[in-house]
Chain A
Amino acid sequence: MDIFYTKDHEWVKVEGRSGVMGISAYAVKQLGDITYVELPEAGKEITKGVVVCTVESVKAASDIYAPVAAKITEVNSALESAPEKMNASPEEEGWIAKLEISDPDASKGLMTAAQYDEFVKSLG
C-alpha cells in the first residue's frame, strides 16, 4: 500500500482502487486537541479537492478536502465519540474514510511520503 499527501495535509493510502484517507501528523499537530469530527456519509461521491468533512479542535474548525476522486465506502465512526484518536494516531487509528477510488491514476499531483516530509520542513 502506497501513501500520498496533499498540500492541504490530507493523506491517502492507495492499493489498486481501494483507498483510505485521513489527515497528517503535521496537520493534527497544527490543529491541537481535536474535539469533534463531522464525518461524511458513506456512499457519497467526492471529487478531488471538495470538502469531505470538518474537523474541530479546541482552536478552530478546519475543512478537510478530498485527496482523490472517489466514492466513500466506510467512515470511521469511532471518531464520533473519540476524536482524540486523530491526535494519538493520525495516520492509523485516526483515519477518516475508506474509499473506492474513481481515477486509476489517482496519485497524480500528490506528494510521496519523502516529498511531503520535505514540503513540511519547508513550512518551518
Chain B
Amino acid sequence: MKLTPLYGEHKKLLARFAPFGGWYMPISYEGILAEHKAARESAAVFDICHMGEFVFRGDAAELDSAVTRNVSSLPAGKSRYGFLLNDKGGIIDDLIIFRTGEEEFMIVVNAATAENDYEVLKKRLMSIESQPLSLSLPISHESQPLSPSLTDISAETAKIDLQGPLSRDVLKETLGIDTALKYFNFAHFEILGEKAMISRTGYTGELGYEIFINSSKAVELWSKLLSDGRVKAAGLGARDILRLEMGYSLYGHDIDENTTPAEAGLDMFVDYDKDFAGKKALLSRKAAGAAKKKVAFKSEGRRSPRAHYRILSGGKDIGEVTSGVFSPSLSCGIGLGFVEASLPVISDIMISDGGRVELKAKITDAPFLKETSLRN
C-alpha cells in the first residue's frame, strides 16, 4: 500500500485510514459531517497526492488523437476535463488536461488507473520514429522538432486541494497569493520558496483550488494551510459526499471501461469535431442506441441508498445504483445509477437492497446542490 508525503501529518491528526486505489488514505479526521460542513461553509484541505500527474511535451495534435477533448484549441493557462477511451468507446479514465505551454501539457489522472493510463498514453503519443531508439541518433538540424515525451511526475508532485467559499481569502491571507483565477484556469506562483501551480478546479462544487507543489514541500504547505483557523483537514469520506452532492462521477463506480461518456451523461466532455481513439466506436454505439442511461435520484428520508442497490420501477428491476450517500446539505439520500435506456421517462422509482431496505425515490437533475460558491 502506498503512502503520501502527508501520511505522518494524518497520523498526528488521528485520522482514520482506508485503502483507496492502492494507497492508504485518510477517510476522516474529526468526523465526515464536520469536514463536509467546513468545505461547504468555510474551507477544507484535502491530501490528493495519490492522484497521478504526467507531463506531455510535443504537438497538441498528438494529444488530440489520444483524448476526447480538443487540446489544440486550449489556450495556455487553461484546463479541460475529458476522457481516455478504449477502442470500444469505454472510459479508461477521466482526466484533466492543463496546457502549460505551446507544446507542453500536464495531465492529471486517477490514482488506481494511473499506471495503465501512462502505458496507454505512451503508446498513443510516442510515434514509432520517436521511440527511445531515436534518442540515441544525432539530431542533424536544430530546426527539427523535439521528440515528443511523456513523463510521469507523480512521485515528485504533491497535490493539495483547498476547497470552500473562503478558500480565496485563505490563499490571500495565509499564503500571500492574491488571485482572481477563474474556473478551469491556472497559473504558477511562488509558495514557500518553491514554484507551485494553482488551478481553480476541484471536486467539491465550491470555490476552490488544486495546488501542485514539489513533494518535499507538501508537509510545510499542509501545515501552513491548517494554521489558518478557517481551514479544516478533510478526508476522502467528506470528499465523496461533496462530489456526489454535485452529481460528479467517480471513476470505478459511476464510470468505467464498460461505460461510454454518452451513457454516463458526460457527452459534453467529448469533442466530436476532431479524431481521437475510441471515436469510431462511440459513434457506432450512439447510432445503435445506448443500452443504459445515467440517472440521478433523491430518496425520501435519512436512510442512505448505497452502491449496488437495485433500482425498481413499477416492481420491475430497471437498473443499479453506482453511488449513494446521505446528503447532509439536503437531509435526504442521494445517488447516481444506471437504468435501461429504452425505458420511457420515469420519475418515481424504488431503491432496494434486495432485502429489508426499500426507499422511495425520485429521479432528478444533477447537481443536487444548485447554490454553491463554485463560480463566486
Contact = CB atoms under 8 A, between A and B. Distances in A.
A58 interface: yes
B237 A35 contact: no
A56 B326 CA distance: 9
Interface stretch (B143-151, B279-287, B297-305): B297-305
Contacts of A56: 302-304, 326
Interface size range of chain A in the complex: 10 to 19
Contacts of B326: 35-36, 56, 58
B154 to A, nearest CB: 28
A38 B27 CA distance: 25
Contact of A33 (B31, B303, B356): B31
Contacts of A58: 32-33, 237, 241, 325-326
Contacts of A38: 303
A83 B326 CA distance: 13
B303 A32 contact: no
Interface in B275-324: 301-304, 306
Contacts, number: 40
A19 B27 CA distance: 36
Contact of A36 (B28, B33, B237, B302): B302
Nearest to A33: B33
A36 B301 contact: yes
21 contacts: A32-B32, A32-B237, A33-B31, A33-B33, A35-B33, A35-B302, A35-B326, A36-B303, A36-B304, A36-B326, A54-B356, A56-B303, A56-B304, A58-B32, A58-B237, A58-B325, A59-B32, A61-B304, A61-B306, A83-B302, A84-B33
Interface of B: 16, 27-28, 31-34, 237, 241, 301-304, 306, 325-326, 328, 356-357
Given A35-B328, A36-B303, A83-B302, 8 more contacts: A32-B16, A32-B28, A33-B33, A36-B304, A59-B27, A59-B32, A61-B306, A87-B31
